[in-house]
């Protein structure tokens, strides 16, 4: 009964004048599925042809590019006890400001007049050096006086020797004359004997000639003795000269020895003076180390000692200072598989913790809240976490990094690689192929120039 009624209504009512019938029953309408499918395929093809920037994501922390701009520990070089604090945690100090004063704890340095006593020792040692120097100068003068006395004594002896040589020469001439005279008396005596035997001369004449011959012989003997005595005197003068030279040589050697002993004493005193001056400089430097000063301007943090009278050891950390002005950088840790794709000068986008951002990794130009950076250095040795460390600095061609950044904050980095089509990127990821290696235009130009 129901089917009959329904059939009649469907056959009799065409529905041309009824809008509700047309909206409910779509018998005469063609479906739009094919059109939607074709539009979706066309839209998909357009999306696959859109550009996509390949990238590498890595997390990092905010640090500084230079070592002296990082948080610095202030250590004490000497052991001591805390006597006074000049700052507290959170204070900002300038370079050279006093942070802490220490007191002495070692027995060797407890004397409050230590520097004055060392100064007195230094002055005494200087006087000792001066006395040694004066003594050495006196020894030098004594040596010069002995040398002059030796020269005078030797000249006197040489003059005597010259006179003796002249006397010996005169005695030699006298001996020669006596010998000639003796020969004459000898001939006269021989002739007198012949004439006496022949009776030509009396005996008195012969005896007279004998007396003359004997007198000549005695005179010859006296002259010879005189000549020998002159030679002995010359020899004695030579011996006296040698004795004087030896005596003065001993005196000069002794004076030289005293002079060198004085010079040695002065040198020893100079070494001791240098040691005392070194001690004075060390004590003075130690007194300056009682006041621990700020090596650079910054904020004081992490004080390890809190009370008055607490002991500190040598090399122990007192506080830390965070410098005011720092050239911030981000240290990123890159996987070894991505390491060949990163190079110095490569562009990087950052999202810093605490700063809102809308990130489209494939379209960095459409991202909001990101900041630009440039790779400044890449370590060639793997870190303890098994990754390679890279330092990224601020890109001066883009907007500056926020002034509210602090060392140790987090940052998410996106290293930008080559720009490709989305279709190629999907095909690469499906097949597990690595990204394209990006090279800057400068490198391409330099390569072409080399070719």
Tell me the domains of the chain and their CATH numbers. Answer: 52-68+326-450 (2.40.30.170), 71-99+290-322 (2.40.50.100), 114-288 (1.10.287.1490)
| pTM summary value | 0.52
CA distance 86 to 176: 114
- Tally the residues of the chain: 451
Would you say residue 20 has pLDDT above 70?
Answer: no
* Cα within 13 Å of Cα(69), Cβ side: 13
The token pair at 57 is 């994501």
Candidate from 185-189, 336-340, 357-361 with smallest mean pLDDT? 357-361
Candidate from 154-168, 277-291, 335-349 with smallest mean pLDDT? 335-349
Would you say residue 345 has pLDDT above 70?
Answer: yes
**Are 290 and 103 within 8 A, CB to CB?**
yes
CA distance 65 to 448: 33
Would you say residue 443 has pLDDT above 50?
Answer: no
Kindly report, residue by residue over 400-412, the tens digit of the pLDDT.
Answer: 888 778 877 888 8
Please indicate whether residue 287 or residue 415 has the higher confidence score (pLDDT): 287
Q: In percent, how much of the chain has pLDDT > 70?
A: 80
Mean pLDDT over residues 186-205, rounded? 79
Candidate from 9-23, 157-171, 371-385, 416-430 with smallest mean pLDDT? 9-23
Band of the pLDDT at 7, cuts 50, 70, 90? very low
Would you say residue 201 has pLDDT above 80?
Answer: no
Q: Which residues contact 63 (CB under 8 A, 6 or more apart)?
A: 70, 328, 329, 330, 331, 391, 407, 408
- The pLDDT score that the predictor gives to residue 442 is 45
Mean pLDDT over residues 182-195, rounded? 81
- The pLDDT score that the predictor gives to residue 221 is 86
Radius of gyration of the chain (CA): 61
For residue 130, the surrounding DSSP H or E stretch is helix 114-198
Matching residue, tokens 């440039």? 374
Q: In percent, how much of the chain has pLDDT > 90?
A: 1
Q: Which of 415, 423, 429, 428 is nearest to 51 (CA)?
A: 423
Would you say residue 297 has pLDDT above 60?
Answer: yes
For residue 398, the surrounding DSSP H or E stretch is none
Output helix, strand, coil percentages for the chain, rounded to the nearest 5.
Answer: 55, 20, 25
């Amino acid at each position: 009964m129901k089917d009959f009624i329904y059939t009649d209504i469907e056959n009799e009512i065409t529905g041309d004048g009824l809008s509700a019938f047309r909206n409910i029953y779509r018998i005469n309408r063609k479906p739009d599925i094919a059109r939607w499918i074709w539009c979706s395929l066309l839209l998909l093809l357009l999306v696959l042809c859109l550009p996509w920037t390949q990238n590498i994501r890595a997390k990092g922390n905010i640090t500084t590019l230079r070592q002296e701009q990082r948080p610095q520990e202030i250590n004490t070089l000497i052991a001591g006890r805390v006597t006074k604090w000049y700052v507290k945690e959170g204070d900002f100090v300038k370079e050279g400001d006093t942070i802490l004063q220490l007191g002495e704890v070692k027995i060797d340095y407890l004397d409050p007049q230590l520097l004055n006593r060392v100064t007195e020792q230094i002055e005494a040692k200087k006087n000792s050096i001066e006395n040694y120097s004066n003594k050495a100068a006196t020894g030098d003068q004594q040596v010069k006086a002995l040398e002059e006395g030796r020269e005078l004594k030797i000249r006197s002896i040489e003059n005597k020797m010259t006179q003796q040589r002249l006397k010996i020469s005169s005695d030699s001439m006298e001996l020669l004359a006596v010998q000639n005279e003796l020969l004459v008396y000898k001939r006269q005596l021989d002739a007198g004997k012949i004439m006496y035997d022949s009776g030509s001369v009396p005996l008195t004449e012969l005896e007279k000639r004998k007396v003359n011959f004997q007198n000549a012989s005695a005179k010859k003997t006296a002259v010879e003795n005189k000549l020998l005595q002159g030679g002995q005197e010359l020899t004695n003068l030579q011996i006296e000269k040698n004795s004087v030279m030896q005596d003065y040589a001993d005196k000069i050697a002794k004076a030289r020895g005293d002079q060198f002993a004085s010079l040695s004493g002065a040198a020893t005193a100079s070494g001791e003076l240098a040691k005392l001056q070194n001690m004075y400089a060390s004590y003075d430097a130690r007194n300056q180390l009682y006041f621990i000063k700020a090596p650079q301007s910054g904020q004081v943090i992490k004080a390890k000692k809190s009370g008055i009278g607490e002991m500190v050891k040598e090399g122990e950390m007192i506080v830390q200072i965070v410098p005011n002005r720092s050239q911030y950088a981000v240290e990123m840790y890159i996987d070894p598989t991505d390491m060949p794709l990163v190079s110095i000068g490569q562009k990087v986008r950052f999202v810093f913790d605490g700063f809102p951002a809308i990130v489209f990794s494939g379209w960095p130009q459409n991202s909001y809240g990101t900041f630009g950076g440039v790779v400044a250095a890449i370590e060639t040795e793997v870190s303890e976490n098994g990754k390679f460390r890279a330092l990224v600095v601020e890109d001066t061609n883009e907007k500056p990094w926020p002034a509210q950044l602090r060392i140790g904050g987090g940052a998410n980095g996106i290293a930008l690689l080559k720009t490709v089509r989305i279709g190629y990127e999907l095909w690469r990821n499906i097949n597990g192929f690595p990204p394209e290696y990006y090279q800057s235009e400068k490198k391409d130009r330099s390569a072409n120039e080399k070719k």
